Structure 1
């Protein structure tokens, strides 16, 4: 521990020497690299790089981005290029406009990185990473579908509950999920309140899910899905397909969830 002066303060710096200045965050122009040797437009390069800096936490919530004109001059690009980039990020809710303050990084836009170490539903997943989960049911119907029945290994006359939901974390739409549930296992699902966690409901009715088979593949959202996510143009997404089973090894759920790739990344912990 450093000695203190009689007044109880740390010793003053020696004459002629200023105290060390706090470390400064690198300016934005040092974090962005635009290339001339590519067909990708400058505004798109800038948009992708700024979005990545927001998602990885380099540009934190509340950060004010440089005004369009000085930023453009510092980068050696046109002001129109910066305008198009900022406007695109605003439409995607990465930035918000605050009058004379310019554009400010929105809260809750870092990329989500939930683990894939065990079976869990969206509600539990969001709570684990500190987000407030919510769901909006946009379609709910009992169906008799030959192709879905074949996935479950059931006869074509078997009834299934089809549930289409928009899943949100902190109010931000993260996925559009289409799920089917075998009503032969839990017939109460047909009329139950499913606005909360479906997995919790299944568990409380003796059909807790204990294992699943899951695949993840790249996908491009259609026009309706772009509207859900607020995309002005299709952006890469993750399509997750999952078959989930109860303890008696009976398949209870088949779900296809489209997760926005600009805000969602799964984390895998692998050991030898």
Structure 2
């Protein structure tokens, strides 16, 4: 086993953010492993030593290592410490059918979760025009950070036609919106989706834990019910270092 590079020079933990130290440490170590900066087979420092080097509690490092073990990125080897394991560095979800983030994560064996940053009913002339609605039509704006196994994977800005599902405005949307829609008798049957390269802004970089902007995937989606009514418009920014979409094309 080889030793990992000096992590003290690679990790930048912040105390001016609401994100816990152990999550910051987990996200940064996962990114270093995925990028190959910390190579497969390398041995990470013991919990106590890394905690002392970084000036954090041993519990912080312990929670980080435990999370990385659950993600199968590390394995414990007793006195030899923690070994970096070979893992698929990028998620590769299929795009053969319409599904939400929650279902997608579960299919990939990850635990989905969300942090709701904004949930308000308001008017937006430009978004209303996308729906083909009058400029003063009420729309639900929902901004969330979508996480897989605690790692921020996307920042999602979504709008919904609340006239189609009024109860959505006051619902708990930290989970699957599609499940909430189904509870209101709405099923999305078709979507139109585009994918393009994009750079995160300062706020999005902070959410992803980027020290400087890294390439991301911007996915725009318009979703419709069985009657052809547009219910959802989404702009999701997915981190490029963790996501790669898979397509299956038949002749």
Q: 1:64 aligns with which of 42, 48, 60?
A: 42
Task: Name the residue aligned to 1:257.
Answer: 236
Shift of 1:194: 1.4
Task: Name the residue aligned to 1:229.
Answer: 208
Name the CA distance, whole Å, in 1 between partners of 2:150 and 2:249.
Answer: 32
Runs of 4+ in 1 over 4 A off after TM superposition: 52-55, 93-96, 100-104, 106-109
Name the CA distance, whole Å, in 1 between partners of 2:226 and 2:143.
Answer: 25
**1:46-85 equivalence runs, <5 A:** 51-53=34-36, 59=40, 63-65=41-43
Name the CA distance, whole Å, in 2 between partners of 1:162 and 1:137.
Answer: 11
Q: What is the TM-score of this pair, normalised by structure 2? A: 0.70
> Which has more strand, going by share of residues?
2
* Equivalent residues, number: 197
Q: What is the TM-score of this pair, normalised by structure 1? A: 0.65
Q: Secondary structure at the match of 1:190?
A: helix
Q: Secondary structure at the match of 1:115?
A: coil
| Equivalent pair of 1:54/1:105 in contact (CA under 8 Å) | no
| Equivalent pair of 1:160/1:180 in contact (CA under 8 Å) | yes
Q: Secondary structure at the match of 2:171?
A: coil
Q: Secondary structure at the match of 1:180?
A: strand
Task: Name the residue aligned to 1:170.
Answer: 149
In structure 2, relative to structure 1, the CA distance for the partners of 1:51 and 1:144 (3 Å cut) is same
CA RMSD in angstroms, aligned pairs only: 3.3
Shift of 1:219: 0.4
Q: 1:214 aligns with which of 172, 193, 199?
A: 193
Q: Secondary structure at the match of 2:126?
A: helix
Q: 1:188 aligns with which of 167, 170, 185?
A: 167
| Equivalent pair of 2:165/2:181 in contact (CA under 8 Å) | yes
**1:1-272 equivalence runs, <5 A:** 51-53=34-36, 59=40, 63-65=41-43, 105=84, 110-272=89-251
Shift of 1:243: 0.3
Q: Which has the larger radius of gyration?
A: 1
Name the CA distance, whole Å, in 2 between partners of 1:111 and 1:254.
Answer: 26
Name the CA distance, whole Å, in 1 between partners of 2:150 and 2:180.
Answer: 23
Name the CA distance, whole Å, in 1 between partners of 2:162 and 2:183.
Answer: 15
Which ranges of structure 2 fall in alignment gaps of 5 or more residues? 4-30, 46-63
In structure 2, relative to structure 1, the CA distance for the partners of 1:66 and 1:193 (3 Å cut) is closer
Task: Name the residue aligned to 1:86.
Answer: none
Which ranges of structure 1 fall in alignment gaps of 5 or more residues? 1-24, 29-47, 68-89
Shift of 1:160: 0.4
Shift of 1:271: 1.1
| Equivalent pair of 1:244/1:251 in contact (CA under 8 Å) | yes
| Equivalent pair of 1:211/1:246 in contact (CA under 8 Å) | yes
